Protein backbone atom coordinates (compact mmCIF):
# COMPACT_ATOMS: atom_id res chain seq x y z
CA UNK A 1 0.00 0.00 0.00
CA UNK A 2 1.20 3.50 -0.87
CA UNK A 3 0.28 6.41 1.44
CA UNK A 4 1.03 10.12 1.34
CA UNK A 5 0.95 10.92 5.05
CA UNK A 6 0.92 14.71 4.81
CA UNK A 7 -1.53 16.59 2.59
CA UNK A 8 -3.82 19.62 2.91
CA UNK A 9 -6.89 20.90 1.04
CA UNK A 10 -6.56 24.32 -0.63
CA UNK A 11 -2.89 24.66 0.17
CA UNK A 12 -0.21 25.38 -2.44
CA UNK A 13 -2.99 25.66 -5.05
CA UNK A 14 -4.30 22.12 -4.57
CA UNK A 15 -8.06 21.67 -4.24
CA UNK A 16 -9.71 18.43 -3.17
CA UNK A 17 -10.19 17.48 -6.82
CA UNK A 18 -6.50 18.14 -7.44
CA UNK A 19 -5.56 15.90 -4.54
CA UNK A 20 -7.71 13.02 -5.78
CA UNK A 21 -6.26 13.43 -9.28
CA UNK A 22 -2.78 13.35 -7.77
CA UNK A 23 -3.56 10.19 -5.78
CA UNK A 24 -4.95 8.51 -8.88
CA UNK A 25 -2.10 9.57 -11.17
CA UNK A 26 0.58 8.45 -8.73
CA UNK A 27 -1.36 5.29 -7.77
CA UNK A 28 -1.41 6.32 -4.11
CA UNK A 29 -3.98 4.40 -2.12
CA UNK A 30 -4.54 6.72 0.84
CA UNK A 31 -3.56 10.08 2.23
CA UNK A 32 -3.56 11.71 5.64
CA UNK A 33 -5.42 15.02 5.28
CA UNK A 34 -4.26 17.55 7.86
CA UNK A 35 -5.49 20.91 9.14
CA UNK A 36 -3.71 24.12 10.16
CA UNK A 37 -5.39 26.26 12.76
CA UNK A 38 -4.24 29.42 14.53
CA UNK A 39 -7.08 31.40 16.06
CA UNK A 40 -5.20 34.71 16.12
CA UNK A 41 -2.02 34.38 14.05
CA UNK A 42 0.71 36.97 13.94
CA UNK A 43 2.17 38.56 10.85
CA UNK A 44 3.98 35.45 9.65
CA UNK A 45 2.85 33.31 6.74
CA UNK A 46 -0.31 31.42 7.71
CA UNK A 47 -3.01 29.60 5.78
CA UNK A 48 -6.20 28.63 7.60
CA UNK A 49 -6.98 25.00 6.76
CA UNK A 50 -10.14 24.11 8.70
CA UNK A 51 -11.20 20.75 10.03
CA UNK A 52 -14.60 21.02 8.35
CA UNK A 53 -12.97 20.85 4.91
CA UNK A 54 -10.87 17.82 5.84
CA UNK A 55 -13.90 16.06 7.31
CA UNK A 56 -16.11 16.73 4.26
CA UNK A 57 -13.34 15.39 2.05
CA UNK A 58 -13.23 12.23 4.14
CA UNK A 59 -17.02 11.86 3.88
CA UNK A 60 -16.80 12.18 0.10
CA UNK A 61 -13.79 9.86 -0.30
CA UNK A 62 -13.75 7.61 2.79
CA UNK A 63 -11.59 4.99 1.09
CA UNK A 64 -8.90 7.49 0.07
CA UNK A 65 -8.67 9.96 2.96
CA UNK A 66 -7.77 9.66 6.64
CA UNK A 67 -8.72 12.98 8.30
CA UNK A 68 -6.67 14.69 11.02
CA UNK A 69 -7.36 17.75 13.15
CA UNK A 70 -5.12 19.84 15.39
CA UNK A 71 -7.00 22.61 17.19
CA UNK A 72 -5.04 25.68 18.20
CA UNK A 73 -4.17 24.86 21.83
CA UNK A 74 -4.71 28.53 22.74
CA UNK A 75 -8.45 27.95 22.40
CA UNK A 76 -10.26 27.45 25.67
CA UNK A 77 -12.29 24.62 24.11
CA UNK A 78 -9.39 22.96 22.26
CA UNK A 79 -9.61 19.69 24.20
CA UNK A 80 -13.37 19.41 23.77
CA UNK A 81 -13.11 20.19 20.07
CA UNK A 82 -10.51 17.51 19.45
CA UNK A 83 -12.48 14.89 21.38
CA UNK A 84 -15.69 15.83 19.57
CA UNK A 85 -14.14 15.58 16.12
CA UNK A 86 -12.48 12.29 16.98
CA UNK A 87 -15.87 10.83 17.85
CA UNK A 88 -17.14 12.02 14.46
CA UNK A 89 -14.38 10.18 12.62
CA UNK A 90 -11.18 12.21 12.81
CA UNK A 91 -8.34 9.69 13.19
CA UNK A 92 -5.34 11.75 14.26
CA UNK A 93 -4.11 15.08 15.59
CA UNK A 94 -2.28 17.18 13.02
CA UNK A 95 -0.81 19.31 11.81
CA UNK A 96 0.10 20.83 15.17
CA UNK A 97 1.81 24.18 14.50
CA UNK A 98 1.54 26.16 17.70
CA UNK A 99 3.62 29.05 19.01
CA UNK A 100 4.11 27.15 22.25
CA UNK A 101 6.68 25.08 24.07
CA UNK A 102 5.94 21.38 24.46
CA UNK A 103 5.80 21.76 28.24
CA UNK A 104 3.27 24.60 28.16
CA UNK A 105 0.01 23.98 30.02
CA UNK A 106 -1.92 24.28 26.75
CA UNK A 107 0.07 21.55 24.97
CA UNK A 108 0.15 19.30 28.03
CA UNK A 109 -3.63 19.53 28.26
CA UNK A 110 -4.12 18.70 24.58
CA UNK A 111 -1.74 15.74 24.77
CA UNK A 112 -3.92 14.14 27.42
CA UNK A 113 -6.77 14.01 24.91
CA UNK A 114 -4.47 12.67 22.18
CA UNK A 115 -3.26 10.01 24.60
CA UNK A 116 -6.76 9.09 25.75
CA UNK A 117 -7.95 8.38 22.22
CA UNK A 118 -4.62 6.89 21.08
CA UNK A 119 -4.28 9.28 18.15
CA UNK A 120 -1.04 9.76 16.24
CA UNK A 121 0.22 13.34 16.34
CA UNK A 122 1.84 15.11 13.38
CA UNK A 123 3.75 18.25 14.39
CA UNK A 124 5.82 20.97 12.75
CA UNK A 125 9.02 22.37 14.29
CA UNK A 126 10.29 25.78 13.20
CA UNK A 127 12.85 28.07 14.78
CA UNK A 128 12.09 31.52 16.17
CA UNK A 129 13.33 34.48 14.19
CA UNK A 130 12.82 38.04 13.13
CA UNK A 131 11.82 38.53 9.51
CA UNK A 132 11.39 41.30 6.94
CA UNK A 133 13.82 43.49 8.87
CA UNK A 134 17.27 42.82 7.34
CA UNK A 135 19.41 44.64 9.91
CA UNK A 136 17.58 43.21 12.93
CA UNK A 137 17.53 39.80 11.30
CA UNK A 138 21.30 39.83 10.87
CA UNK A 139 21.89 40.79 14.50
CA UNK A 140 19.32 38.40 15.89
CA UNK A 141 20.20 35.36 13.80
CA UNK A 142 23.96 35.62 13.55
CA UNK A 143 24.80 37.04 16.97
CA UNK A 144 22.08 36.34 19.53
CA UNK A 145 20.95 33.00 18.16
CA UNK A 146 23.74 31.30 16.24
CA UNK A 147 26.65 33.22 17.76
CA UNK A 148 25.87 31.98 21.26
CA UNK A 149 25.21 28.35 20.36
CA UNK A 150 27.57 25.62 21.46
CA UNK A 151 27.49 21.86 21.26
CA UNK A 152 25.58 21.78 24.55
CA UNK A 153 23.10 24.55 23.77
CA UNK A 154 22.17 23.11 20.36
CA UNK A 155 20.19 20.43 22.15
CA UNK A 156 18.10 23.00 23.99
CA UNK A 157 18.17 25.67 21.30
CA UNK A 158 16.32 27.86 20.97
CA UNK A 159 15.05 27.52 24.53
CA UNK A 160 17.90 29.26 26.35
CA UNK A 161 18.20 32.16 23.95
CA UNK A 162 14.66 32.60 22.74
CA UNK A 163 12.30 31.19 25.32
CA UNK A 164 11.99 34.47 27.21
CA UNK A 165 10.62 36.01 24.05
CA UNK A 166 8.29 33.07 23.47
CA UNK A 167 7.02 33.18 27.05
CA UNK A 168 6.29 36.89 26.72
CA UNK A 169 4.47 36.46 23.43
CA UNK A 170 0.75 35.70 23.33
CA UNK A 171 -1.21 35.78 20.06
CA UNK A 172 -4.35 36.15 22.16
CA UNK A 173 -3.16 39.46 23.58
CA UNK A 174 -1.38 41.26 20.80
CA UNK A 175 0.00 40.49 17.38
CA UNK A 176 3.55 41.73 17.23
CA UNK A 177 4.30 44.28 14.50
CA UNK A 178 8.02 44.00 15.09
CA UNK A 179 8.41 41.06 12.72
CA UNK A 180 9.12 38.52 15.47
CA UNK A 181 8.05 34.95 14.75
CA UNK A 182 8.12 32.96 18.01
CA UNK A 183 8.50 29.59 16.32
CA UNK A 184 6.46 26.39 16.31
CA UNK A 185 6.67 23.57 18.83
CA UNK A 186 9.86 24.60 20.60
CA UNK A 187 12.22 22.98 21.48
CA UNK A 188 14.18 19.67 21.28
CA UNK A 189 14.67 19.46 25.04
CA UNK A 190 10.96 19.75 25.81
CA UNK A 191 10.17 17.45 22.87
CA UNK A 192 12.37 14.73 24.34
CA UNK A 193 10.75 15.15 27.73
CA UNK A 194 7.34 14.82 26.08
CA UNK A 195 8.37 11.66 24.23
CA UNK A 196 9.23 10.17 27.62
CA UNK A 197 6.01 11.35 29.28
CA UNK A 198 3.68 10.03 26.54
CA UNK A 199 5.10 6.71 25.31
CA UNK A 200 1.69 5.64 23.99
CA UNK A 201 1.47 8.57 21.54
CA UNK A 202 3.10 8.12 18.14
CA UNK A 203 4.67 11.49 17.31
CA UNK A 204 5.38 12.23 13.63
CA UNK A 205 7.92 15.04 13.23
CA UNK A 206 8.15 17.41 10.31
CA UNK A 207 9.34 20.90 9.55
CA UNK A 208 12.31 23.16 8.96
CA UNK A 209 13.82 22.94 12.44
CA UNK A 210 13.50 19.17 12.71
CA UNK A 211 15.12 18.34 9.37
CA UNK A 212 17.85 20.93 9.81
CA UNK A 213 19.21 18.79 12.64
CA UNK A 214 19.71 15.78 10.40
CA UNK A 215 23.34 16.90 10.22
CA UNK A 216 25.70 17.33 13.16
CA UNK A 217 26.78 20.75 11.91
CA UNK A 218 23.27 22.25 11.88
CA UNK A 219 24.42 25.07 14.15
CA UNK A 220 26.73 26.39 11.41
CA UNK A 221 23.89 27.16 9.03
CA UNK A 222 21.98 30.43 9.14
CA UNK A 223 18.66 29.81 7.45
CA UNK A 224 16.12 27.04 7.12
CA UNK A 225 17.42 24.90 4.24
CA UNK A 226 21.08 23.86 4.76
CA UNK A 227 23.04 22.92 1.66
CA UNK A 228 25.93 20.60 1.01
CA UNK A 229 27.10 17.27 2.45
CA UNK A 230 26.17 16.34 6.01
CA UNK A 231 28.88 16.22 8.62
CA UNK A 232 28.06 13.38 11.00
CA UNK A 233 24.85 12.34 12.70
CA UNK A 234 22.67 15.19 13.87
CA UNK A 235 20.47 15.29 16.94
CA UNK A 236 17.47 13.63 15.34
CA UNK A 237 19.42 10.39 14.73
CA UNK A 238 19.70 9.90 18.49
CA UNK A 239 16.06 10.79 19.13
CA UNK A 240 14.82 8.37 16.47
CA UNK A 241 17.03 5.63 17.90
CA UNK A 242 16.08 6.13 21.52
CA UNK A 243 12.33 6.74 21.28
CA UNK A 244 10.15 4.10 19.63
CA UNK A 245 7.23 6.56 19.58
CA UNK A 246 9.04 9.14 17.41
CA UNK A 247 8.60 9.02 13.64
CA UNK A 248 9.26 11.54 10.86
CA UNK A 249 7.72 12.39 7.51
CA UNK A 250 9.84 13.65 4.62
CA UNK A 251 7.33 16.21 3.35
CA UNK A 252 7.66 19.82 2.30
CA UNK A 253 10.66 21.78 1.05
CA UNK A 254 12.53 21.01 4.28
CA UNK A 255 12.05 17.26 3.92
CA UNK A 256 13.11 16.99 0.29
CA UNK A 257 16.02 19.37 0.95
CA UNK A 258 17.22 17.18 3.81
CA UNK A 259 16.91 14.04 1.71
CA UNK A 260 18.67 15.32 -1.41
CA UNK A 261 21.57 17.36 0.02
CA UNK A 262 23.71 14.27 0.63
CA UNK A 263 22.30 11.15 -1.09
CA UNK A 264 24.79 8.67 0.37
CA UNK A 265 24.09 9.78 3.95
CA UNK A 266 20.37 9.82 3.18
CA UNK A 267 20.55 6.21 2.00
CA UNK A 268 22.17 5.26 5.31
CA UNK A 269 19.61 7.29 7.25
CA UNK A 270 16.59 5.76 5.51
CA UNK A 271 18.01 2.25 5.84
CA UNK A 272 18.80 2.77 9.52
CA UNK A 273 15.36 4.18 10.30
CA UNK A 274 13.30 2.23 7.81
CA UNK A 275 10.70 1.59 10.54
CA UNK A 276 10.40 5.28 11.47
CA UNK A 277 10.14 7.26 8.19
CA UNK A 278 6.91 8.10 6.36
CA UNK A 279 6.53 9.08 2.73
CA UNK A 280 4.79 12.46 2.43
CA UNK A 281 4.72 15.62 0.31
CA UNK A 282 2.84 18.41 2.15
CA UNK A 283 1.42 19.48 -1.25
CA UNK A 284 4.97 20.00 -2.55
CA UNK A 285 5.44 17.28 -5.14
CA UNK A 286 9.15 17.65 -5.79
CA UNK A 287 10.13 14.21 -7.01
CA UNK A 288 10.33 12.54 -3.61
CA UNK A 289 9.49 9.08 -4.95
CA UNK A 290 11.86 9.37 -7.88
CA UNK A 291 14.67 10.35 -5.54
CA UNK A 292 13.98 7.55 -3.05
CA UNK A 293 13.81 5.03 -5.88
CA UNK A 294 17.15 6.29 -7.21
CA UNK A 295 18.85 5.31 -3.94
CA UNK A 296 18.36 1.60 -4.68
CA UNK A 297 17.15 0.84 -1.18
CA UNK A 298 16.04 -2.64 -0.21
CA UNK A 299 12.49 -3.41 -1.34
CA UNK A 300 11.49 -4.04 2.26
CA UNK A 301 12.80 -0.60 3.24
CA UNK A 302 10.83 1.10 0.47
CA UNK A 303 7.67 -0.79 1.39
CA UNK A 304 7.91 0.42 4.96
CA UNK A 305 8.57 4.05 4.02
CA UNK A 306 5.91 4.16 1.30
CA UNK A 307 3.08 2.84 3.41
CA UNK A 308 3.69 0.12 5.97
CA UNK A 309 4.88 2.54 8.65
CA UNK A 310 1.84 4.77 8.19
CA UNK A 311 -0.42 1.71 8.35
CA UNK A 312 1.31 0.60 11.55
CA UNK A 313 0.79 4.00 13.17
CA UNK A 314 -2.89 4.09 12.18
CA UNK A 315 -3.39 0.40 13.04
CA UNK A 316 -4.79 -0.27 9.54
160 in any annotated domain: no
- Bridge-based pairing state of the strands 129-130 and 180-181: antiparallel
302 part of a folded domain: yes
How far CA 316 is from CA of 3, 152, 277, in Å, comes to 12, 40, 17
Whether 147 maps to a domain, the answer reads no
Task: Work out whether the CA dihedral 272, 198, 312, 63 comes out positive or negative.
Answer: negative
- Please tell me the predicted confidence (pLDDT) of residue 155: 42
Q: For residue 100, what pLDDT is reported?
A: 86
pTM over 0.85: yes
Residue 131 in any domain: the answer is no
Domain span at residue 29? 3-125+185-314
pLDDT at 99: 87
Q: Which of 158, 155, 95 is nearest to 121 (CA)?
A: 95
Tell me the pLDDT tens digit for each residue of 169-222.
444 344 444 566 778 997 888 899 999 999 999 999 999 999 999 999 887 777
pLDDT of residue 136: 43
Give residue 143's pLDDT: 40
Which residues of the chain are under the pLDDT cut of 70? 43, 130-180, 316
Are the CB atoms for 185 and 98 separated by under 8 Å? yes
In 10 A of CB 205, how many CB atoms? 23
Assign residue 66 the CATH number of its domain.
3.20.20.140
How high is the pLDDT of residue 128?
76
Answer yes or no: is 142 within a domain. Answer: no
* Domains: count for the chain: 1
Amino acid sequence: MLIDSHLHINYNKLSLNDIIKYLDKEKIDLCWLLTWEEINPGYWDYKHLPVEAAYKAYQKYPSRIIPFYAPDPHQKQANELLASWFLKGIRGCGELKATLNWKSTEIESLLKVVSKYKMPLVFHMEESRYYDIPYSNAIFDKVLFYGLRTEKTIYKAPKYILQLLVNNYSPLKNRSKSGFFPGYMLDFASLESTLKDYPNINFVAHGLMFWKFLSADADKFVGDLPKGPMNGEGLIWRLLREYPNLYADISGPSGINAMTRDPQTTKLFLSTFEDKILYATDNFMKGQREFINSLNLAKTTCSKIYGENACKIMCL
